[in-house]
Amino acid sequence: MTTPVDQARAVADAVLYEGYVLYPYRASATKNQMRWQFGVLMPPCFADAETGEYDRCRTECLLEPDLHTILHVRVRFLQVQARTVEVGPSHRQVPSLTVADTEYTSWEEAVAHEIEAALPVSDLLAGDNVVPFTVDGGEDVEQLTEQARLVRRRWRLDAQLRLRAYTLSGPYGGVRLTMDVVNTSPWRQSRRPTRQLALRRALIAEHSVLSVFPGRFLSLVDPPEWAKPAVRACHNERTWPVLVGDPDRADTVLSSPIILYDYPTVAEESAGQLYDGTEIDEILTLRTMALTDEEKRQARATDPRSRELVDRIDQMPAELLERLHGTVRYLRSVTGGGEPVQITDRPDVPWWDPGADTSVHPETDSVVIGGVAVARGSRVRLRPGLRRADAQDMFLAGRVATVQSVLLDVDGDRHIAVTLDDDEASDLNAAHGRFRYFSAEEVEPL
Higher pLDDT, 57 or 49: 57
CA count, 13 A, side-chain hemisphere, 432: 6
Mean pLDDT of all residues in 244-272? 89
Instruction: Collapse the DSSP code of 13 into the 3-class scheme (helix H, G, I; strand E, B; otherwise coil) and give the result.
Output: helix
Question: pLDDT, tens digit, for every residue of 393-434?
Answer: 778 889 999 999 888 776 677 889 999 999 988 888 888 888
**DSSP of 370-421:** TTEEEETT-EEEE---TT-S-GGGGGGTT-EEEEEEEEE-TTS-EEEEEEET
Question: pLDDT, tens digit, for every residue of 84-133?
Answer: 999 999 999 998 888 888 888 999 999 999 999 999 999 999 999 999 99
Maximum mean pLDDT: which of 37-46, 263-272, 318-327, 366-375: 37-46
Residue 367 pLDDT > 60? yes
pLDDT, residue 326, reads 66
Q: Write down the pTM of the prediction.
A: 0.74
pLDDT, residue 268, reads 80
- Would you tell me the crossing angle of helices 304-314 and 293-302 to the nearest 10 degrees? 140
Domains of the chain, first to last: 36-266 (no CATH), 326-357 (no CATH), 361-445 (2.30.30)
> Which are the contacts of 315, defined by CB distance < 8 A and separation ≥ 6?
none
Q: Is the peptide bond before 24 cis (omega within 30 degrees of 0)?
A: yes
Nearest to 24 by CA among 267, 214, 309, 280: 309
CA count, 13 A, side-chain hemisphere, 292: 3
Higher pLDDT, 186 or 389: 186
